[in-house]
């Protein structure tokens, strides 16, 4: 991808079992890029989110510094000063304007950023960028993640090739309300910040806003997109914009699914599809209620086709439902038809479907023509273990 450089290093921010792992990352565009971002809707927000909301208004960004292991949240005025100082240090080292540097953090809430470690690490972070890779950056932003999350796609507009690359981190505190984790998307396409933001909103709504691990919304969520226009490909009309939206949608959905598959303690990736809703809002409400249900999640983990938990979740979702009209399938197995359980044999076949690491459940409300979906994961004992000693 033309004009972007990356770095991921060990700065000594992470503690405990993750001590000694990469925890400071950099994305640098060799020229200012069009930029757009979406942030958490949690009212408790980290210092980088406060700073980022202001800086992104200009629609331009040239670098982003990301630390893992410390959220810089609930750290008061000092946290905001630390975020700004981090941007200033990076800007000076890269010889770019300070206002073109964004900052993101992820990790434990409440502890101040160990600024001396960032100061000491800044020379290593900002030099020899040609010897590092996007994967190095992706590793540096991980916290409880077990796997690196990177997606790279190439496409052409009017014969000119461009690249869209995305990296994300997320494993716990995953519930939509934009953005449900940290994600960074880079492209060498030439596109305005206005069109970039419009495309990012659409893509995130159908990806990062359709996933759930545990129903918690983080204080640090950020999705940042940068487009430096160095490939020669450009968005010049509405058809071009649609071409870019298609690729961006693919990148964000793949990243979102990676987040769910890597959910803390997760063993299964599940897609719940709601069909036949009376309205778009009803379809979303029902899908969201099923995906957030702890009873559904534990049944998935136990490979128990406890269909009553699914229909009950839809029933309390606020959507317009009639239990006598519901159809429910696990994979290709019809378990409920017009509100009637299809018997023990059907349930046994559904249990076999549930042994797969990825499965699809479809609930047809038969109340209208609207549909929606969510991706979620199961709940295992490991989720409790991971979060019971997360700060230690």
Q: What are phi and psi of 285, to 5 degrees?
A: -60, -45
Q: Which of 106, 180, 219, 311 is catalytic?
A: 180
β pairing state of 333-337 and 149-157: unpaired
Q: What are phi and psi of 252, to 5 degrees?
A: -70, -35
Asked if the bond preceding 179 is cis, omega within 30° of 0, the reply is yes
Q: How far apart are CA 56 and CA 41, in angstroms?
A: 16
Q: Are the C-beta atoms of residues 234 and 191 closer than 8 Å to each other?
A: yes
Q: How far apart are CA 258 and CA 116, in angstroms?
A: 34
Max distance between CA atoms of the chain, in angstroms, equals 69
Q: DSSP E strands: which ranges in the chain?
A: 4-9, 24-39, 60-70, 101-108, 149-157, 160-169, 182-187, 211-212, 222-227, 269-277, 327-330, 333-337, 340-341, 358-364, 370-377
Q: How far apart are CA 218 and CA 269, in angstroms?
A: 21
187 is catalytic: no
Helix intervals (H) in 95-237: 115-126, 134-140, 193-205
Nearest to 336 by CA among 297, 298, 365: 365
Residues serving a catalytic function are 180
């Amino acid at each position: 991808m033309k004009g972007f450089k990356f770095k991921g290093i060990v700065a000594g921010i992470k503690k405990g079992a993750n001590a000694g792992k990469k925890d400071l990352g950099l994305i640098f565009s060799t020229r200012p890029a069009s930029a757009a971002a979406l942030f958490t809707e949690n009212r408790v927000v980290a210092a980088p989110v406060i700073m980022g909301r202001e800086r992104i208004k200009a629609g331009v960004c040239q670098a982003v510094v990301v630390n893992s292991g410390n959220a810089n949240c609930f750290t008061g005025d000092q946290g905001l000063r630390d975020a700004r100082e981090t941007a200033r240090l990076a800007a000076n080292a890269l010889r770019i304007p300070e206002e073109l540097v964004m900052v993101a953090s992820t990790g434990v809430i409440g502890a101040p950023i160990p600024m001396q470690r960032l100061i000491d690490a800044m020379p290593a972070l900002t030099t020899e960028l040609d010897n590092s890779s996007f994967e190095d950056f992706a590793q540096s932003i991980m916290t409880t993640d077990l796997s690196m999350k990177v997606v790279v796609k190439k496409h052409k507009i009017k014969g000119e090739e461009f690249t869209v690359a995305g990296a994300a981190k997320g494993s716990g505190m995953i519930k939509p309300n934009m953005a449900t984790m940290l994600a960074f998307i880079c492209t060498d396409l030439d596109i305005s910040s206005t069109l970039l933001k419009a495309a990012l909103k659409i893509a995130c709504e159908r990806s990062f806003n359709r996933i759930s691990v545990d129903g918690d919304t983080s204080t640090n969520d950020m999705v940042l997109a940068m487009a430096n226009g160095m490939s020669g490909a450009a968005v010049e009309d509405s058809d071009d914009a649609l071409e870019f939206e298609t690729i961006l949608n693919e990148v964000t959905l793949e990243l979102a699914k990676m987040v769910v598959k890597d959910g803390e303690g997760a063993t299964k990736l599940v897609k719940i599809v709601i069909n036949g809703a009376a309205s778009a809002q009803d379809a979303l409400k029902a899908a969201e209620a099923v995906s957030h249900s702890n009873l559904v999640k534990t049944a998935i983990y136990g490979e128990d086709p406890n269909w009553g938990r699914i229909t009950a979740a839809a029933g309390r979702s606020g959507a317009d439902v009639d239990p006598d009209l519901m159809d429910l399938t696990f994979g290709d197995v019809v378990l409920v038809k017009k509100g009637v359980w299809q018997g023990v044999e059907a349930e046994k076949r559904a249990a076999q479907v549930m042994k797969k690491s990825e499965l699809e459940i479809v609930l047809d409300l038969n109340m209208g023509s609207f549909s929606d979906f969510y991706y979620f994961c199961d709940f295992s004992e490991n989720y409790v273990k991971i979060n019971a000693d997360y700060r230690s």
